[in-house]
């Protein structure tokens, strides 16, 4: 059996990995309809503090890492304080996992995420927790134990992303069939259309990396450039295409009616250097009538308004730097998947939610040692093929 498939970190690295996986599981449960799910949410900052302390005193830390941590903490704390600050949680996760072994992190996170989602699904299936039902545009959809159907759809997308990175190079055909099944599930069961389309993009990523061409690196660079440019446009799109125009209604339909609430957001608020608290009323946790519904779905728009201009630039540049690192080291499938997750954030809110986005932990990993087992496994599989 391949040693890279069975080896796991030891000592403090393994303990840090376990703490992160507990954080992943608690994140799933905190977004479910499990009784006292708020207890899982309250436990997350304690876990993250433990991860920070453990990584700070047991892992190698560069001046860049310390500077990144200091800037991230300063911006997020000045913007929204400490308690319940999801953007601060992102900073702590990214810093704490900076020296993780990529292959171990991918495998354990896939197991943790799938296990937690299955537990929630089974509890809802056997009526142990509420399984909320919704109708959108005449289409029935179920939350499957989550507080809203799109939450379950988001987890299906991130499971698909983990599967693509782990098996897309080694077993492209089998992985593609699994992605097809997950696409159908997300599209028909939870009616998570945007997540389903992004799962289709993952299939395209597998096709691209298996094309024997020297243009893959150029594709990654071009994709990063376009994604970065669009990210700077998305929050301002209702200013470019104001309410009432044909282009506005076309884009609003394309984004399943979410552009309207971004237009409302601009009517009352404007971006500032530091983030701000913006009251929002969503449908999560209830299938009844919600008065004064107002929720901004786009991760990029949320990041700009709630996180502030400084944190928007800070996180977007960090994400870009990681994709550049992957591309320069010819880890193309991983780079393309990170781009797909970023594209998903154009419309969905999960990209900047640490209880959902299990890929935030990779953003500060910038040494080939952490990728060694993953690269070796991919190269071995490629040679066999």
Percent of the chain with pLDDT over 90: 63
Helix boundaries (H) for 329-367: 332-344
pLDDT class of 326 with cuts at 50, 70, 90 = very high
Per-residue pLDDT band for 3 (boundaries 50, 70, 90) equals very low
Confidence (pLDDT) at 247: 77
pLDDT at 4: 43
pLDDT tens digits for range 207-227: 999 886 778 999 999 999 999
Alpha-carbon distance of 20 to 55, in angstroms, equals 11
H/E segment holding residue 140 = strand 139-142
Q: In a 3-state reduction of DSSP, which class is residue 217?
A: helix
What are the residues whose beta carbons fall under 8 Å from the beta carbon of 318, sequence distance 6 or more?
68, 94, 363, 364
State whether residue 137 is helix, strand or coil: coil
Residues 6+ apart with CB under 8 A from 242: 248, 263
- Name which of 201, 111, 205 is nearest 157 in CA terms: 201
Measured in Å, how far apart are the chain's first and last C-alpha atoms? 17
Tell me the pLDDT band of 53, cut-offs 50, 70 and 90: very high
Average pLDDT of span 90-115: 95
Residue 384 has pLDDT above 70, yes or no: no
Give 285's pLDDT tier (boundaries 50, 70, 90).
low
Is a pLDDT exceeding 90 seen at residue 34? yes
Determine the Cα–Cα distance for residues 210 and 172; give it in Å rounded to an integer: 8
From residue 207, give the alpha-carbon distance in Å to each of 9, 224, 303, 344, 373: 32, 18, 32, 19, 23
Interhelix angle 172-188/193-209, rounded to 10 degrees, is 170
Least confident of 7-11, 334-338, 367-371, 380-384: 380-384
The size of the chain, in residues, is 385
Q: Mean pLDDT score of the chain, rounded to an integer?
A: 87
How many Cα neighbours within 13 Å face the side chain of 52? Answer: 16
pLDDT for position 380:
53
Average pLDDT for residues 345-373, to the nearest whole number? 90
Contacts of 98 (CB under 8 A, 6+ apart): 55, 59, 61, 65, 364, 365
pLDDT at position 211 is 81
pTM score of the predicted model = 0.91
Q: Identify the residue with better confidence: 217 or 137.
A: 217
pLDDT for 324: 96
Answer whether 259's CB lies under 8 Å from 301's CB: no
For residue 7, is pLDDT > 60?
A: no
**Per-position b or e across 298-327, b if 16+ CB within 10 A of its CB:** bbbbbbbbbbbbbbbbbbbebbbebbebbb
168-196: per-residue pLDDT in tens?
999 999 999 999 999 999 998 888 889 99
């Amino acid at each position: 059996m391949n040693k890279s498939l069975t080896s796991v970190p030891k000592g403090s690295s393994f303990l840090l990995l376990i703490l992160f996986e507990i954080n992943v599981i608690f994140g799933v449960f905190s977004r479910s309809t499990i009784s006292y799910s708020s207890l899982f949410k309250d436990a997350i900052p304690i876990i993250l503090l433990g991860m920070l302390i453990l990584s700070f005193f047991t892992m190698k830390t560069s001046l860049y890492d310390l500077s990144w941590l200091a800037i991230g903490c300063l911006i997020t704390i000045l913007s929204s304080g400490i308690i319940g600050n999801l953007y601060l949680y992102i900073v702590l996760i990214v810093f704490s996992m900076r020296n993780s072994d990529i292959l171990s992190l991918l495998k354990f996170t896939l197991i943790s995420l799938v296990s937690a989602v299955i537990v929630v699904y089974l509890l809802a299936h056997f009526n142990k927790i509420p399984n909320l039902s919704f109708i959108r545009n005449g289409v029935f959809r179920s939350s499957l134990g989550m507080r809203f159907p799109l939450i379950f759809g988001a987890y299906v997308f991130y499971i698909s992303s983990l599967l693509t990175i782990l098996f897309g190079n080694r077993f492209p055909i089998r992985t593609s069939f699994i992605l097809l099944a997950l696409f159908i599930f997300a599209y028909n069961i939870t009616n998570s259309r945007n997540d389903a389309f992004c799962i289709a993009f993952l299939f395209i990523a597998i096709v691209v990396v298996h094309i024997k061409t020297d243009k893959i690196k150029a594709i990654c660079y071009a994709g990063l450039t376009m994604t970065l440019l669009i990210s700077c446009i998305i929050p301002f799109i209702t200013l470019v295409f104001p309410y009432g125009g044909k282009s506005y209604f076309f884009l609003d339909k394309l984004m399943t009616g979410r552009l309207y609430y971004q237009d409302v957001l601009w009517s009352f608020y404007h971006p500032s250097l530091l983030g701000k608290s913006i009251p929002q009323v969503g449908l999560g946790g209830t299938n009844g009538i919600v008065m004064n519904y107002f929720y901004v779905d786009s991760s990029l728009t949320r990041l700009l308004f709630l996180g502030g201009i400084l944190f928007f630039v800070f996180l977007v540049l960090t994400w870009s730097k990681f994709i550049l690192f992957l591309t320069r080291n010819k880890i193309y499938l991983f780079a393309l998947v990170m781009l797909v997750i970023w594209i998903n954030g154009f419309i969905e809110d999960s990209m900047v939610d640490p209880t959902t986005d299990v890929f935030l932990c990779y953003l500060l990993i910038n040494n080939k040692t952490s990728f060694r087992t993953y690269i070796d496994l991919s190269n071995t599989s490629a040679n066999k093929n």
